[in-house]
């Protein structure tokens, strides 16, 4: 579940009154998501109703980054990429404090997240990712990637072989592999603001079309081809990383390149970028697994799903990306 904080109807109505969106009609907690509390808000104003997402920032987000995240939504929402805008309050603020926590009201976008994408959907996701990269290029605020290849390596080293082996006997090998990936990491590739977590649950779709990119809370300034590698790792596998769906991987890259063709050095870097992308999720999942109490109500994500992807990228060599 992802409503960590209970808010009374009165508190919600009082909050919504600070925005020029009409009267609060309903507020429903949203079960999806892990990091923050989210509500679907409906308001009524001048003969029409509107929907919004209210997010309360609960964990993992450095509040000093809120101007970056919420400003980025505003910047991208004016582009051709379907990104929700931040609703500002009557004083112009992008977020407010409620019960000692920060909250933001975000435009609601229609659509559903797909579990098993088709090639047509993957192609459109690739194209929209490239549109987002192009639109973010002139966003003036910067945020460094705090989950780069070197961080994955040190997180896994800190987890240690014993704790990793308790999750799965194949996982300790990730410690040395992550170090190797960090040592051969390509620097100097073309950059923009990247999403860096564009999993299917962060993309809303209507049929084959992408209707929304959401959850930009890992966005940062880094190599655009790395974002494509993250998206490739997140979209192109089924059965917990055991089954590579070549048609999906190819469609995703073709869609991306239909908007922004990769440069030769980006093409050449894709195998190591994909291994680094897999390591990013092995390390964060392993760390969460070890730190989450056994009786916590939070769904634990299995790092092995990405260890299998990592092995596939490592053993497949450059063949997957040609
Ligand atoms: N702008 C939006 N329009 C429509 N639905 C949205 C929007 N933003 C969020 N949602 C819905 O709320 C759910 C949770 O949002 P989100 O993924 O941002 O939560 P989170 O807790 O930050 O996620 P995560 O666990 O991936 O870090 C989404 O799965 C989606 O159903
Ligand atoms: N999308 C990530 C969670 C955010 O880091 C995962 O599936 O592990």
Q: Measured from the CB, is residue 105 less than 6 Å from ligand 1? A: no
pLDDT for the residue 58: 85
How distant, in Å, are the alpha carbons of 72, 152, 223 from that of 178? 30, 7, 18
User: Ligand 1 centre and the CA of 267: distance in Å?
Assistant: 32
Measuring from atom 8 of ligand 2, which residue has the nearest CA? 281
pLDDT in tens, 227-244: 999 999 999 999 999 999
98 in Cβ contact with 188 (< 8 Å): no
pLDDT at position 61 over 90: no
Going through 46-136 in order, the beta strands assigned E by DSSP cover 48-56, 86-87, 96-98, 101-107
Q: Please report the ipTM that was assigned to this predicted complex.
A: 0.94
**Taking the CB of residue 228, how many other CB atoms lie within 10 A of it?**
28
Residue 220, phi then psi, degrees to nearest 5: -165, 175
Q: Measured from the CB, is residue 106 less than 6 Å from ligand 1? A: yes
Indicate which ligand has the atom closest to the C-alpha of 299: 1
Q: Measured from the CB, is residue 177 less than 6 Å from ligand 2? A: no
Going through the chain in order, the beta strands assigned E by DSSP cover 23-29, 37-45, 48-56, 86-87, 96-98, 101-107, 191-194, 203-206, 209-213, 220-223, 237-238, 243-244
Query: Which one, of 113, 134, 285, 298, lies nearest residue 214 by Cα?
Result: 113
Measuring from atom 28 of ligand 1, which residue has the nearest CA? 32
In this prediction, residue 2 has a pLDDT band, given cuts at 50, 70 and 90, of low
SS (H, E, C) 259-311: HCCCCHHHHHHHHHHHHHHHHHHHHHHHHHHHHCCCCCCCCCCCCHHHHHHHH
Measuring from atom 6 of ligand 2, which residue has the nearest CA? 281
Atom of ligand 2 at shortest distance to CA of 35? 4
In this prediction, residue 316 has a pLDDT band, given cuts at 50, 70 and 90, of confident
Q: Measured from the CB, is residue 36 less than 6 Å from ligand 2? A: no
pLDDT at position 168 over 60: yes
Atom of ligand 2 at shortest distance to CA of 306? 8
In this prediction, residue 297 has a pLDDT band, given cuts at 50, 70 and 90, of low
282 in Cβ contact with 152 (< 8 Å): yes
In this prediction, residue 36 has a pLDDT band, given cuts at 50, 70 and 90, of confident
Domains (ranges, CATH) in the chain?
9-107 (3.30.200.20), 119-321 (3.90.1200.10)
Indicate which ligand has the atom closest to the C-alpha of 34: 1
User: Ligand 1 centre and the CA of 277: distance in Å?
Assistant: 22
């Amino acid at each position: 579940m992802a409503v960590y904080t209970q808010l009374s109807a009165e508190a919600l109505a009082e909050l919504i009154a600070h925005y020029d969106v009409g009267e609060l009609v309903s507020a429903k907690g949203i079960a999806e998501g892990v990091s923050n509390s989210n509500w679907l808000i409906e308001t009524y104003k001048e003969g029409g109703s509107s929907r919004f997402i209210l997010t309360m920032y609960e964990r993992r987000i450095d509040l000093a980054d809120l101007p970056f995240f919420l400003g980025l939504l505003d910047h991208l929402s004016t582009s051709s990429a379907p990104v929700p805008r931040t609703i500002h309050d009557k004083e112009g603020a992008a977020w407010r404090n409620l019960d000692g926590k920060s909250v933001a009201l975000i435009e609601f976008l229609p659509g559903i997240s797909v579990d098993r994408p088709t090639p047509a959907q993957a192609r459109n996701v690739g194209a929209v990712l490239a549109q987002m990269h192009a639109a973010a290029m002139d966003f003036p605020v910067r945020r460094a990637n705090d989950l780069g290849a070197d961080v994955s390596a040190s997180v896994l080293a800190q987890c240690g072989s014993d704790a990793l082996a308790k999750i799965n006997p194949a996982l300790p090998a990730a410690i040395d592999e992550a170090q190797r990936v960090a040592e051969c990491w390509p620097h100097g590739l073309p950059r923009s603001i990247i999403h860096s977590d564009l999993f299917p649950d962060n993309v809303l779709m209507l049929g084959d079309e992408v209707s929304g990119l959401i959850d930009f809370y890992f966005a940062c300034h880094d190599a655009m081809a790395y974002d494509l590698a993250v998206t490739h790792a997140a979209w192109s596998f089924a059965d917990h990383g055991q089954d590579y769906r070549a048609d999906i991987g190819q469609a995703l890259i073709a869609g991306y390149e239909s908007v922004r063709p990769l440069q030769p050095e980006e093409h050449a870097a894709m195998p190591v970028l994909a291994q680094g992308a897999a390591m990013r999720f092995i390390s964060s999942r392993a760390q969460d697994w070890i730190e989450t109490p056994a009786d916590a109500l939070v769904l634990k994500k299995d790092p092995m799903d990405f260890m299998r992807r990592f092995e596939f990228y490592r053993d497949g060599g450059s063949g997957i990306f040609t």
